[in-house]
Amino acid sequence: MSRIIVCLKQAVDVTQLKVDQKTGRLITAEAPRKISDFDKNALEEAIKLKEVLGGEVITVTVTAEEAKSTVREALAMGADRAVIIKDSKIAGIDTLTTALLLARTIKKLGEFDLILCGEASIDSFSGQVASRLAEILDIPQLTSAGKLSLEKGEVIVERALEDRYETVKAKTPALVSVTRGINEPRIPSLMAIMKAAKKEIAEWTIQDLGFPPEKLDASNMTVEILDVSAPKTERKRVVIKGENAEEIAENLVKALIQEGVVGR
Amino acid sequence: MVLSEYKGVWVFSENWNLMLEILGKGRKIADKLETGLTAIVLGHEIQQKAEEAVNYGADTVYVVDNPLLENFQAERYVGALTSLALQYKPEVFLLGSTKDGKALAARLATRLNTGCVTDCLQIEVTPDKRLTAKKMVYGGNALATITWRAKPQIATIPPRVFEKPELKERNGQIIRVELQLEEPKTERLEVKPGEASRVKLEESQIIVACGRGFEKKEDLTLAEELAEVLNAQISCSRPLAEDRRWFSEWIGLSGHKVKPKLYIALGISGVIQHIAGIRDSKVIVAINRDENAPIFEMADYAVAGDIYTIVPMLTRALKKHLQS
């Protein structure tokens, strides 16, 4: 029997973002929300472990917004129950505070074997929460896992690093952050979706956690985001023309030689 | 926390080449802050590295020499950095953005109860001597400007964002520090090298990348012939690797981020996730049948035409010019 906690972020669907043409700023409010991609891999891995070992998979989400329908998808995939920590002030919190909230929530849930996280979120892409969380809970952390196995109080992962793979072992309870390559998240069946409607989603407030509300104040954050804008693309956008393919090719080569990017 | 107690710019990476690149950036930040630059060197028998750090710009080097630090071990390294930072209180701490380095930075920041910005592409000093950093967010769709409200201001910097400074004979202070090392929580069982191409692609000067415009796998020979003339690396956009399995790796947000001097996109539509991986290329050429393909927004040279007719001609024209 295993007890696995999966940290799920409700992220902005980055493929459906729009830019305010006047200011160059990103409009995130209207973009759809979804489970952050890497976290979905973490969830899939947790469900696969449960299918072999038995036990329970609980998802934990810290959010400023309504997240029930997002979390419902995790339940349809196979999580047993979900906890959402919701507070409007969570919108402006830093990774340290996110990790503190997750740690509090996980402690309240009791004992566990593994915490699974994505190695980063698709929207803010900071990649810090997993490491900070393990640090706060003072448990082993195995990051960037491309393969994972769990048995007899031991977790073994193959970490997918820049130029190498490292097989690393730790005692449970431990935290593992996963890469997108670790698995292909399942698409829930209609039956699973219907079953998920009956599963429990608990919404807790920060008071339920005994978390001091002033710790969510902007003045207590360790970093502040000053601006989020579309990067300027300073490209020449020269259209190469010609009578036929041969001439186009010729003109392109001339342009590239002039740029100094081809030739000796 | 009395923020004015914090002084100096510190640099650490377990990747020595990246360490030298960050020393260059650290030097500039330290000069603007009118403070010193300190390199942290962890390992065993590392006097030569300490001297090298001085010659690459460090005023001070803290050396922790211990056989247990010879190879990277997360707990021992984070423990050593934490002890040093608690003792000497740097105002800025720059680390290398390797996967190990990012985890290290996040853990260090947690222990020091401070903020960390990962994968910084720019770091500037404000007139009131604080840092602001820029990093890619929202899948490469946006650049966020972030500042710190706590110290040390911890940042991680990816490889090849800043240039390695010039090596100069300089004077600096090398200080050896004895530390009690932390017990590891994890045990490394095995290390296997990754595929060689992973490193190669990121360092390639010229890349020919293929997209869904290629109808059959055999047609990739068109791209291969072009790559051969240019002495280029060949790669692809995500669908050709993940969906069609013609390649094992791809360029884009979830794949490799490249910065060649010349990037040639063949039959690639240019969705934003792909763009995120090629944004730092010097010159981008796009050849695509669809004149409305988003790749053209990102191209320096755009050819609205069929890759099947244009690419062979391009290969021929290049052969002619390069061999004359």
Q: Omega into A173 within 30° of 0, i.e. cis?
A: yes
| Amino acid A15: pLDDT | 76
Q: What are phi and psi of B172, to 5 degrees?
A: -155, 170
**Half-sphere exposure (CA, 13 Å, Cβ side) for A232?**
3
Domain spans, chain B: 3-176, 196-323
Look at residue A95 and tell me whether its pLDDT is greater than 70: yes
CA distance B258 to B251: 7
| Amino acid A263: pLDDT | 76
| Amino acid A264: pLDDT | 57
User: Is the torsion defined by CA of B270, B144, B115, A113 positive or negative?
Assistant: negative
Cα–Cα nearest to A96, from A136, A150, A153, A54: A136
Cα–Cα nearest to B202, from B147, B151, B161: B161
For A252, the closest of B99, B193, B285 (CB atoms) is B285
The answer to whether the CB of B101 falls within 8 A of the CB of B14 is yes
Average pLDDT taken over every residue of chain A:
94
With tokens 């004895």, the residue in question is B178
Q: What is the full DSSP assignment across B276-290?
A: HHHTT-SEEEEEES-
For chains A and B, CB pairs below 8 A equal: 250
Residues of A in contact with B279 (CB under 8 A): 231, 233
Q: What are phi and psi of B53, to 5 degrees?
A: -60, -40
pLDDT in tens, A128-179: 999 999 999 999 999 999 999 998 899 999 999 988 999 999 999 999 999 9
CA distance A225 to A221: 10
Domain spans, chain A: 2-220, 233-264
Cα–Cα nearest to A88, from A67, A71, A58, A113: A67
Chain A residue with minimal CA distance to B72?
Answer: A166
| Amino acid A106: pLDDT | 98
Residues of A in contact with B107 (CB under 8 A): 131-132, 134-135, 141
Distance from CA of B272 to the nearest CA of A (A): 7
Q: Where are the beta strands (DSSP E) in chain A?
A: 2-7, 10-12, 18-19, 26-27, 33-35, 55-63, 81-86, 114-118, 141-151, 154-160, 164-171, 174-178, 201-204, 223-229, 238-239
pLDDT in tens, B18-40: 999 999 999 999 999 999 999 99
Look at residue B1 and tell me whether its pLDDT is greater than 90: no
Model confidence band, residue B83 (pLDDT cutoffs 50, 70, 90): very high
With tokens 């009131």, the residue in question is B128
Q: Answer yes or no: do B303 and A248 touch at CB < 8 A.
A: yes
| Amino acid A45: pLDDT | 98
User: Of all helices (H) and strands (E), which one includes residue B145?
Assistant: strand B142-148
| Amino acid B211: pLDDT | 96
A67-79: average pLDDT? 97
**A177-191, A224-238, B195-209, B249-263 — most confident range:** A177-191
| Amino acid B260: pLDDT | 94
For B186, the closest of A12, A95, A169 (CB atoms) is A169
CA distance B277 to B241: 15
CA distance A5 to B324: 65
* Top-tier CATH class for A2-220: alpha beta
| Amino acid B201: pLDDT | 85
| Amino acid B169: pLDDT | 93
Cα–Cα nearest to A229, from B161, B140, B284: B140
Residues of A in contact with B138 (CB under 8 A): 12, 14, 17, 26, 28, 122-123, 125, 228
Q: What are phi and psi of B142, to 5 degrees?
A: -150, 155
Burial status of residue B309 (CB atoms within 10 A of its CB: 0-12, 13-18, 19 or more)? middle
| Amino acid A9: pLDDT | 97
Tokens of A246: 């041969």
User: Of all helices (H) and strands (E), which one includes residue A108?
Assistant: helix A95-109
Look at residue A108 and tell me whether its pLDDT is greater than 80: yes
Question: A interface mutation test: which of B301, B306, B320, B321 has the most A CBs within 10 A?
Answer: B301
The fold of B3-176 is Rossmann fold (3.40.50)
ipTM reported for the complex, 2 dp: 0.91
Domain B196-323: give its CATH code.
3.40.50.1220
| Amino acid B28: pLDDT | 97
| Amino acid B198: pLDDT | 52
The answer to whether the CB of A177 falls within 8 A of the CB of A140 is no
CA distance A157 to A42: 13
The model carries a pTM of 0.86
Cα–Cα nearest to B135, from B182, B84, B97: B97
The answer to whether the CB of B274 falls within 8 A of the CB of B254 is no
Phi-psi category of residue A216: left, alpha or beta, with phi > 0 → left and psi -120 to 50 → alpha = alpha
- Other Cβ atoms within 10 Å of B71 Cβ, number: 13
3-state secondary structure B231-242: CCEEEECHHHHH
% of residues, chain A, pLDDT over 70:
100
CA distance B94 to B108: 11
| Amino acid A30: pLDDT | 87
| Amino acid A162: pLDDT | 83
Tokens of B260: 């060649």
Model confidence band, residue B3 (pLDDT cutoffs 50, 70, 90): low
Model confidence band, residue A22 (pLDDT cutoffs 50, 70, 90): confident
Is the pLDDT higher at B133 or at B244? B133
Residues of A in contact with B229 (CB under 8 A): none
Look at residue A249 and tell me whether its pLDDT is greater than 80: yes
B211-226: average pLDDT? 96
Look at residue B69 and tell me whether its pLDDT is greater than 90: yes
Q: What is the DSSP code (8-state) at residue A15?
A: G
Question: A interface mutation test: which of B14, B15, B99, B225 has the most A CBs within 10 A?
Answer: B99
pLDDT in tens, B155-210: 999 988 898 999 999 999 999 999 999 999 999 999 998 765 555 788 899 999 99
Contacts with B, A 140-179, CB within 8 Å: 140-144, 156, 159-171
Q: Answer yes or no: do A26 and B135 touch at CB < 8 A.
A: no
Look at residue A36 and tell me whether its pLDDT is greater than 80: yes
Contacts for B238-243: CB closer than 8 Å, 24+ residues apart: B238/B273, B238/B274, B239/B211, B239/B212, B240/B210, B240/B211, B240/B212, B240/B214
pLDDT in tens, B263-322: 999 999 998 789 888 988 999 999 999 999 989 989 999 999 999 999 999 999 999 988
Look at residue B236 and tell me whether its pLDDT is greater than 90: yes
- Other Cβ atoms within 10 Å of B21 Cβ, number: 24
| Amino acid B197: pLDDT | 52
CA distance B112 to B101: 16
| Amino acid A24: pLDDT | 77
B61-73: average pLDDT? 97
Q: Answer yes or no: do B144 and A227 touch at CB < 8 A.
A: yes
Residue type, B186: T
Model confidence band, residue A46 (pLDDT cutoffs 50, 70, 90): very high
Residue type, B259: K
Look at residue A183 and tell me whether its pLDDT is greater than 80: yes
Model confidence band, residue B85 (pLDDT cutoffs 50, 70, 90): very high
